[in-house]
């Protein structure tokens, strides 16, 4: 058993195979939530994930498509096939 920090959200996920460690994402972030990795060529560390505004500037700047941004679970909206609604009403 170990002690672990419980995070309310992890806004950014880096694909380490795609990331070239250029830190352009870090430089594009107006809130400065990332710091450079200690290992050259590796993704930056998301040091202040709670401060993320979820604007997506980091993803827009990434030259290799290595970053995915995801809102916390509570903010993921529901969507449905329209036909499922009409089917429900007909049933």
Partner 1 sequence: MYQGREWPYPSEIDQTETLTADVLVVGGGIAGCMAAIAAARRGQKVILVDKGAVKRSGAGGTGIDHWESAATNPCSRVTPEELHKAMMDDNDGYNNPISHYIECREGWDRLLDIEQMGGKIRDTEDEFKGAEFRDEETKLLFAYDYHARYTLRVWGTTFKPAMARELKRLGVRVLERVMVTSLLTKDGKHGSDCIGATGFHTRTGKFYIMRAKATIIATSRPARVWLFSAAYPGLCEFRPLQCIGDGHAMGWRIGAEFCMMEKSVRAQFSASGRSYPPYMAGNNHNTWYPATLIDATGREIPYVDRDGNILPDVRSRCYPAKGQRFFLKGGNVEEAKYEYLGPETLPWDKLKEMGYKLPFYADLTAMPEHERKAIWGLMVGQEGKTMVPVYQYLNNAGFDPTKHVIQCYGAGWTSAEFLPQERQLFGAPGGFMNDWYLMTNIPGLFAAGDALFSSNCYGHAAATGYYAGRHAARFAASRSLHDFDAHQLEQERERVYAPLLNKRGFGWKELNHAICKTMQNYCGELKEEGLLLAGAERLSHYEKDIVPYTSASNPHELMRLLEVHNILTVAQMILEACLVRKQDCPPLEFYRADSGGQAPKPFLVIRHDGEKTVCREVPLDFAGDVKENYERRNQDYIEEKEVG
| Selected binder of partner 1 within 1, 17, 40, 75 (CB under 8 A) | 75
Residue 14 belongs to what H/E stretch? strand 12-14
- Exposure of 43 in the CB half-sphere (CA atoms within 13 A): 20
Q: How far is the CB of 20 from partner 1 (least distance, A)?
A: 19
58/12 Cα distance (integer angstroms): 9
15 counts as binding partner 1 under rule CB under 8 A = no
Q: Of 9, 11, 20, which is closest to residue 66 (Cα–Cα)?
A: 20
71 counts as binding partner 1 under rule CB under 8 A = yes
3 counts as binding partner 1 under rule CB under 8 A = no
List residues binding partner 1 (CB under 8 A).
5, 8-9, 27-33, 35-36, 38, 45, 47-48, 50-57, 59-61, 69-72, 75, 77-83, 85-86, 88-89
């Amino acid at each position: 058993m170990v002690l672990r920090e419980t995070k309310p959200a992890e806004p950014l996920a880096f694909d380490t195979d795609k990331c070239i460690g250029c830190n352009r994402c870090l430089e594009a972030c107006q809130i400065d939530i990332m710091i450079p990795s200690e290992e050259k060529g590796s993704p930056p560390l998301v040091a202040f994930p709670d401060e993320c505004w979820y604007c997506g500037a980091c993803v827009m700047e990434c030259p290799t498509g290595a970053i995915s941004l995801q809102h916390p679970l509570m903010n993921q909206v529901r969507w449905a096939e329209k036909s499922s609604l009409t089917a429900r009403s007909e049933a």
